[in-house]
Structure 1
Amino acid sequence: MLKKFITLAIVAWLGQFFFATGTYATEELENEQEQIKEEREAVQAELSEAEAELVALIADLESLNDHLHNLSEKIEANEDMIEETEAEISETENQVEELEAEMDRLQEDIDERFELLKDRASSYQRNGSGNGAYIEVILGAESFGDFMSRVMTISKIAQADNDFIEQLEANQLELEEVQLQHVESLLALANKATELEEMQDELDEQKEEVERVRDDMKENEAEQEALIAKLVDQDLDLASQEADVRNRIKDEVKRQEEQRAEAARQAEQEAKEREAAEAEKERESAEAKSSESNTSSPSRSNSNNNSSSDGSWQTFSATAYTASCNGCSGITSTGINLKDNPNAKVIAVDPSVIPLGSRVEVKGYGTYIAADTGGNITGQKIDIFMSNRSNALAFGRQSVQIRILN
């Protein structure tokens, strides 16, 4: 029962040892994973900011495109108005030509009527005053009917002269009105054409400015999209690294479990072998005692084994060693890494005297595990592990009392 307890204790100790070394490796991987995670979070934050800026940029670009579209519509409408105005100017010019022709015709009519008046005035001058001529005509009537006829004729001639003068004045007024309308129409069309051309220049300038801003924003959009693509690649790369570290952590945990299982198996196997060896020694010892006399002394080897396993104090020569010497691996013969476990209570022994895995009390120094061997450690010698080299040198060589606890 005690041997099984020792076996379980060794298995538990080895499990703790491998757990400690494995935990160190796992912590390194977890630290690496945390660092990658922080880098990825920073990249994702920058990516979110870049995407938000791109959304705002696209919204501004759409607004600019709408503004540019409105400007294009205004320019197109203004161009239509310019065309319409030019058509109106052309039509007005045609009307002006027609009016000028009418004015020429009126002028010809006026000139013609003036000639008639001049002829009549000359006739009056040759025949006397106009009234005298009319009286002579009336007095020359041969009858009353002829008299009335001549009076009516003279009245019509006089009325015609009045009508002619009034028509001439009306034609002159009409000519002046037509000329005024002509001037006003041309001025209005000229002003309208000037305003439309100025508006067209202003719209063209606005369009050029908006197009310039739009081109700049398109360039910014391309740069932003390139930045987002770069950040996405970085995020994917970090995600791949993070996944790789996770897999390495899983592999490390699996390897640690396998090591612990293998260590436990080896420890159990060694314990079984020690139990079998001790049982064989006990059997041989019993046979030897039964075949020899009670006064005969046992062999040196048997004496050492009996004296070291019966729990009595024995005198041993003791030295000290460290894991940091030149050429030292720091790994004991049973697999303990002394560099990773500087506080381990370990001694090197001669396995034929003190079996490996035994708990040994060194008087004045405490309890140790017999977990290592050495080329010079034979017979009644032990080598005590110390983490500090100066302490090991100061220890030197001493005679100590030890006893095997189990």
Structure 2
Amino acid sequence: MKSSKNRFSFFSVFFLLFVMELVLCGSGQIIHVVGGLTLRMLNYLLALCITSFYICRKHMNKDTGKILMLFVFTTCIGISLCLISDNTVNLFDDIKQLSFFLMLPFMSYMVKNIDMVNAVSKTIRYSVLLMAIIYLVYIILIKFVGVIDFRTFYILMEDEGDFLFRGNKGEMFYKGFLYLAIGLLFWIKERKYFYSFLILLAIYYTMTRGFYVITILCLGLLYIACHKVTSGTIFFLLIFSFCVLLVVNYLGLFDVSENREDGDALRVLTMQQVFERITPLSLIIGHGFGCGVPVRTIHMENAFLEIFHKQGLIGLFLWSYLLYKIVVFYKHVPFIYKSIASVYMIGTVGIYVQSLFNPYLTNPIGMSFVLLSFVVCNKLSNINEDSLCTCSLSAKIV
């Protein structure tokens, strides 16, 4: 029995390190263990082994099982269409990212109690704070002090696919910065406003419109979730947020000597080419994995557009149903845990919105938090509120 406890303790520690890597390491290509094997790939393989261990010992959560079966069904349709059309060149690129969905049962088995929910939240919170501090120190050194030479640093980082520089003063877009807005919610919930300010400052220096939008959106939703607000207040918040976006855009704070019109035109052209290829059959099941359009042969900036093109309305149903279930679970969470559940639910909404600009939802960066939110909200919703007075906070939840 003692060794069993140690084994489960090891699994829990591994899970927290697994979450930390997801938050900090962007697309997962930053840390290589050996050769082409990255730390994320290694974690993925270990997680599959641990999941197999648990599946042999206990039943899978029924809600997790239903979502997983729906994912397998829609994925098999996409693969079948790809094989039928003999367009398999880019099949692996699609399946590689979507295969991370198989981490859902692993997360479900790992999040066994309230203590683990709190540990995961703390891991995300401090990982995001670390990311923000590192980025702000970098901005100070390259932009204000001049210790780092931009041209030299640019040459050093130009082969790293996770980074995209904004202008020539050092500001950059990093794929992992998606978690800045999510981490901000965690720190605000903890009422740590200095740390919140640091993260907000880091978000500003990303010079990324999408991050600005989801930050404002998430903060507004967090305010609504934490306060009893009227329809008039919600309308005022929407108008206020829209005005802030207009002012920021007018002052040119969205741009850093960079032409964004080309990117916007490319998104519009991608949408046109997708719509031009719609057929009655593809409307329902899509064209299959590996099938792009002339301007975007593999992946598209708008994740939902790519899902629709490759998997049709069936694919969109999967991701819509996943969001719907998270919201439903959140509504059934006992009041005492509503605060922490709201952060996961709102963070998920933010990722869905951000996926209109960048394909976060269909890759491990955004998908991991969405799946984690599904598990956390599901587990918290299964707690009997009447028993909270007599049960320990670390009581198991199924």
Instruction: Report the TM-score when normalising by structure 1.
Output: 0.18
**Rg comparison, structure with higher value:** 1
Instruction: Report the TM-score when normalising by structure 2.
Output: 0.18
